[in-house]
Chain A
Amino acid sequence: MSTLPSLILRTAVRWISPLLLLFSLFLLLRGHHEPGGGFSGGLVAATGFALLTFGFSLETARRVLRVAPTTLVAVGIAVALASGAGAFLLRSPFLTGIWFKLPLTSTMVIELGTPLLFDVGVYLTVIGATLTMLFSFAEE
């Protein structure tokens, strides 16, 4: 980035980036039964960091992310792998979903399962992979 980014962009990014990150979490969590999921959530989250890169600088985006994007990829794949390997404990084929019912109140029950964990893995991997590409382009 040779020239200073515009003031309008910077001011907007200050508000939009956190909202995008929040929205990405919303997408991730609603994804199992409705449109959304780890992949689209990950892309939206990566967009938040991309805007930071363009509105401020590469260093800012890296600092906010805290970890190297390639590490995110590795952690994401590991999480996905672990979510699938759990099925072997129940003598089921790889990636078979295991579900728990979590009663919050007498009427509300949350269903949690390994597919959500898998989606978290996808989410992290997509953020990591997208940002690895973006950051190396931004370096040039």
Chain B
Amino acid sequence: MDLLLTLPILIPLTWSLVLYPVRRRRALSHAIAITGATLLLGATALLLVFLVSGKGIEVVTIGSWPPPYGIVLVADLLSAAMLLVCALVSWAAVVYSTDWIDPGREQAGYYSLVFALLLGVNGAFLTGDLFNLYVWFEVMLMASFVLLVLGVERGQVEGGIKYVSLNLLASTFFLSATGILYGIAGTLNFADLSRVLESVDPHILNVVAALFGIAFGIKAGVFPLFFWLPASYHTPPVPVSALFAGLLTKVGVYALIRVFTLLFVHDPGWTHRILLACAALTMLTGVLGALAQHDVRRILSFHIISQIGYMIFGLALLTPLGLASSVFYLIHHIVVKTNLFFIGGLLERRFGTGLLDRVGGLFRTQAWLGVLFLIPAFSLAGIPPLSGFVAKLLVIRAGLAAHAYLATTIAVVVGLLTLLSMLKIWNEAFWKAPPVPAVVNERPGPYSVQVLLPIFVLASVTVFLGLAGEPILAVAQRAAEQLLDRHGYQAAVFSIVAESVGTGG
């Protein structure tokens, strides 16, 4: 068990190291990278199965130092589900990259960096310690920043600068808030914190909660701190964008869910009401921003923001159904959004640009690509029977059950506007006549297996989640129950202490 729980961290670290010396040998590094991604997928799937069939929370004391003094890794169902979905999309992104990424970037250590990014992401999902979470966030930030500006000319790093400066600001907030919290509670272990904070003056906690809200809000792209995201996500190569779109903001959402269910539940009338307002505004501004855009990847970037709103909405309700909807939405969104970026990439490759007024007529030559696009696009908009329908239905039901009528109305309207903006891409890229001066196809010929396989796999996962998603929904509901059961979390972490004391270890 110790090994299985540590593997999501060990595999990316090992592969990041192994891929570095072979970075100049293309075929070999591709084979190693795909093997690593597949292994990670297998390990995380095994972990989830193990947790679902077992007691649901597993804890490992790193270095055998007992909590709250040592750092623990804690995997509950939310962590395990996030690990699995992230492993799935990173597998897809690695396979896609083997066709897409140019040799220059590969020789600079592209695959090492991808696995370093996964190291940060997986570490953030697994850690049971607040300061350790900060460290994993930094690992993730550094790897993503290098991926963002890798192979870019000096003048083109504007998006990267915005990305890194906003994220460093978020890290500063995170670190200050962590310091204040340590001053208040004297511990940073999640389980210990949640125990200690129950008897702390709620007014001070409100301030700390606001600081954490800002820090993770920037990372997650929540209104009003989202503008770094659309400024940077359309600049790097497509697989990098797709990976970022799938993973990075979702780690922020995960952190928000973690701290606002485990630590800051002292005054939900204040903290969670603010979250609800932010969620509604995030949904709305994201989708309105998308309507104003004319570049495929920019439209998709704005939709990430609007979808983040739905996830925060479920969290803000703090009901079992609300949290279950957040968890399901996270799973659905990561798969769909990554896939949309992949397909957007094929569009850009076909026409040499992602600007909608310079593309068109794709349905005449490649109707199958249009159908393939419609699966994630309709899923994003929430059309049955795809995964987005289930996710949106859950959010709306949770909203109505909690009497948050205004925010629920916004969620419904935003769903319609999302459909509008997906249809805009469809109309412009697939349906309208081809652009008048025929664009030279940079790389003609049929698409390779490496770019099509990930799209097919992710599309079938989307269909599966919609048609036969009950097991996943059951996992989401159990995860939500776990999130609301703080004493269960505390007991799971501290039972490790009892065990190690009992065996004299």
Contacts and interface: CB of A to CB of B under 8 A. Distances in A.
A93 B17 contact: no
Interface in B38-84: 60-64
B14 interface: yes
Given A81-B13, A94-B2, A94-B6, A74 B63 contact: no
B2 to A, nearest CB: 5
Contact of B20 (A74, A85, A97): A74
B17 A74 contact: yes
A88 B14 CA distance: 15
Given A88-B3, A93-B2, A81 B17 contact: yes
A89 to B, nearest CB: 11
A86 to B, nearest CB: 12
Contacts of B60: 93-94
Interface string A118-139: 0000000000000000000000
A16 interface: no
B17 A78 contact: yes
Contact of B10 (A74, A78, A85, A92): A85
Interface string B1-23: 01100100010011001001100
Interface string B74-114: 00000000000000000000000000000000000000000
A121 to B, nearest CB: 11
A77 B17 contact: yes
A58 interface: no
Interface residues of B, number: 14
Given A85-B10, A88-B2, A88-B3, A96 B64 contact: yes
A29 interface: no
A76 to B, nearest CB: 10
Interface string A6-19: 00000000000000
A113 to B, nearest CB: 12
Interface size class of A (residues with CB under 8 A): 10 to 19
Interface string A69-89: 010001001100100110110
Given A77-B13, A93-B6, 18 more contacts: A74-B17, A74-B20, A77-B17, A81-B13, A81-B14, A84-B63, A87-B64, A88-B3, A92-B2, A92-B64, A93-B63, A93-B64, A94-B2, A94-B6, A94-B10, A94-B60, A95-B62, A97-B64
Q: Is the interface of A mostly helix, strand, loop or mixed?
A: helix
Interface of A: 70, 74, 77-78, 81, 84-85, 87-88, 91-97
A95 B63 contact: yes
A78 B64 CA distance: 21
Nearest to A77: B17
Contacts of B61: 93
A74 B13 CA distance: 10
21 contacts: A74-B17, A74-B20, A77-B13, A77-B17, A81-B13, A81-B17, A84-B63, A85-B10, A87-B63, A88-B2, A88-B3, A91-B2, A92-B64, A93-B2, A93-B6, A93-B62, A94-B10, A94-B60, A94-B63, A95-B63, A96-B63
A68 to B, nearest CB: 11
Interface string B138-164: 000000000000000000000000000
A2 to B, nearest CB: 22
Contacts of B20: 70, 74
A97 B17 CA distance: 22
Nearest to B16: A77
The 10 closest A-B pairs by CB, nearest first: A95-B63, A96-B64, A94-B6, A93-B2, A74-B20, A93-B60, A78-B17, A95-B62, A96-B63, A93-B61
Contacts of B64: 87, 92-93, 96-97
A70 B62 CA distance: 27
Nearest to A97: B63
